[in-house]
Copies of this chain bind each other. A is one copy, B any other.
Amino acid sequence: MKSEHIPNATIKRLAMYVQVLETFKREGNQVVSSETLAKACNVNPSQIRKDLAYFGEFGVRGVGYHVQDLITSIKHSLGVDHVWKAALVGVGNLGRALLCHQDFKYRGFDIVAAFDCDPFKIGEEVCGMEVVCTRRLKETAEGKNIEIGLITTPPNRAQRAANFLVGAGIKGLINFAPARINVPDDVHVEYVDFFHHLYSVAFSITLDRKQNSDFSSRIDD
């Protein structure tokens, strides 16, 4: 197949496949079938084969997929086979946690600069990184080849942070702040919102309870 428009859901699943494949690798499995992978990911085997087909043919018929090769192929397809440099704006609790999170570098993302506009934080060292004034973002980022911006400010500061990052020519933003932001068309924004997940779980539980109580009241009749 190859190319044509690729659903966002596919990208999300590919990231999951990599995660699960890494687990299989840790456990010493060399080869995996779409069925096995599907079970571990809780999706349909066809789904996996279709997702992969967008990018090429990675399997061997009658055999399955070679685990390490598939990891490499997916990462290459997604463009995460090299390290992406990132800058972080907003050194609060979350910002600090991300700065200190070792996994990032291991997984191909390297936070190389941290910014904040709070004078008390500027100059402070967090996990071996000096906090710089947000106003000096452009000059500091210059020449560092930063491609991704992480926004971890309070909601009312998110747009300002976005403006500074976009101004420095960064084309990809991950916004952890609970606020929508406006950016030019050629800049990609991803919103990370824990609360969506919390809401989702809360809703599922609420629904279950409602259905159970409907059910028991029906029995009582």
Contacts and interface: CB of A to CB of B under 8 A. Distances in A.
Interface of A: 8, 11-12, 14-16, 19-20, 23, 40-42, 78-80, 84, 93-94, 96-97, 100-101, 103, 107-109, 147-148, 155, 171-174, 178-180, 186, 188-208
A130 to B, nearest CB: 19
Contacts of A174: 194, 197-198, 201
Chain A interface main SS type = helix
Contacts of A203: 11, 78-80
Contacts of A155: 23
Contact of A100 (B93, B196, B206): B93
Nearest to A206: B79
A45 to B, nearest CB: 16
B188 A205 contact: yes
29 contacts: A11-B203, A14-B199, A15-B193, A15-B199, A16-B191, A19-B178, A19-B193, A20-B180, A41-B180, A78-B199, A79-B206, A80-B202, A93-B96, A103-B178, A107-B195, A107-B198, A108-B202, A147-B205, A148-B198, A148-B205, A172-B202, A172-B204, A173-B201, A174-B194, A174-B197, A174-B201, A188-B200, A188-B208, A190-B201
B15 A202 contact: no
The 5 closest A-B pairs by CB, nearest first: A79-B206, A97-B97, A172-B201, A190-B197, A188-B204
Given A190-B197, A190-B200, A171 B79 contact: no
